[in-house]
Amino acid sequence: MAKNNGDIDMPAGYNPLATNRIKAMWNALMDVRQIPDNLRYLKRTPIVFAEDDEIMARLTERSIIADVVADDQPAAVRNDHQITLEATKIPNIKSGTNIKQSMLNLVQRIKAEQAMAGDANIFENYLTGRMDKLMINVRMQMNLMCAGMMLDSYSWSGLGIKSGTVTFGTPSDLKVTPSVGWATSATATPVADIMGVKTTAQNKYGVEYNRITMSNADFLLMINTTEFRNAASAMKLFNFSADQFSTAIANNNAIKMVAESVLGMTIEIDDTQYGREASDSSHSYSRYLPTGKVLLSNTSDDGNSSSFDFANGIVTETVVGSMSINGAPAIFGGPQTGPVAFATLPNPDLNPPNANLWSVARGFPRKHNQAATAILTVG
């Protein structure tokens, strides 16, 4: 067939949905798309390769100082760490999106060399955008899991799986509910509550917290208590009126600096949310850090795999070599850890004709130093 003016030549065998091609695009995206700051819990958690029997186990250890050994003398070999089984099934973290029929028709025109100049770029940009979104979706769930690990409570009820509540071994004396909630401004003692947990961690577990993460709402409750105002006044740190305190917001640097001076800790405000879809396609939104939960941690644990990590396992789809899209074999190059991306045909009878694009990871966070974080439930 004669080509129209503006038609473009494409290489023979052009198949933009072939797995090896999607893999190359995905890896390029992974290289340039750093974990964003709003996924703070995932960003702080190192991602490490782990075998299946390691992923859902809690490795319990406190670091043991090395021995000093003279030349030609043997060193001690210690027993393996205590392992506590948390669950028996490793969750798959999976997000998919449909490639609409109009885009599939565009691919066919490109393959038949009937596309206009720029059409290939249109599809490339579309595919890159879809994969970028899938990458974010998977990382959001990984961030939620890591937040749950730090808060010592993770559960999920969605379209694919309904889990029970998983805990990560945080000592009970580092999970504290004050006798008076912070909303009771006259008698609540947020400063004493925070310092009490901080002191317990330091004296009993040798852990010193230097960061506290809370919602804006909980920050406002804290600074509006009588105890906090008295502490700040005694330190001659502020000259704010009562009205200024009542209308303060967490990004008011002056008031935040006062609070950090009172506590001797960096204060981090986290109001980030994630969206989820129900079976009826309705959307709802929840917080990574629930209101009423205050998290204490140490910045030196960020990226420290001896404190916690995300155990990243082999994605089962990369083991299965018989998957195909339009007859092209899925080429993963052998078993791989996630996240990975690939395309599938959801309807082999092509009724309707469409394709799905997927991103999958398989793993779970682990908390090795159980005292790495502490949690206050303040409301």
pLDDT of the chain along its 379 residues, tens only?
A: 444 444 444 444 556 666 666 666 666 666 556 778 889 999 999 999 887 766 654 544 455 555 454 445 554 444 444 444 444 467 788 888 877 666 666 666 655 555 555 566 676 777 777 788 888 889 999 999 999 999 999 988 766 566 678 899 999 999 999 999 999 999 999 999 999 999 999 999 999 999 999 999 999 999 989 999 899 888 876 665 555 555 555 456 778 888 999 999 999 999 999 988 776 778 889 999 999 999 999 999 999 999 999 999 888 888 765 455 444 445 677 788 888 888 777 666 555 666 788 888 999 999 999 999 999 999 9
- Considering only the C-alpha atoms of the chain, give the largest distance between any 2 of them, rounded to a whole number of Å: 87
Is residue 90 within 8 Å of 166, Cβ to Cβ?
no
The residue among 264, 202, 274 whose CA lies nearest residue 237 is 264
- Using only the alpha carbons of the chain, give its radius of gyration: 26
Phi, psi of 270 (to 5 degrees): -130, 110
Gap between the Cα atoms of 341 and 324, Å rounded = 13
Gap between the Cα atoms of 27 and 164, Å rounded = 34
User: Is 0.85 topped by the overall pTM?
Assistant: no
Please report where in the chains the tokens 């700051």 appear, as a residue.
Answer: 37
Is residue 87 within 8 Å of 57, Cβ to Cβ?
no
Phi, psi of 282 (to 5 degrees): -75, 155
Please report where in the chains the tokens 């004296």 appear, as a residue.
Answer: 203
Please report where in the chains the tokens 């025109």 appear, as a residue.
Answer: 109
Strand partners of residue 274: 286
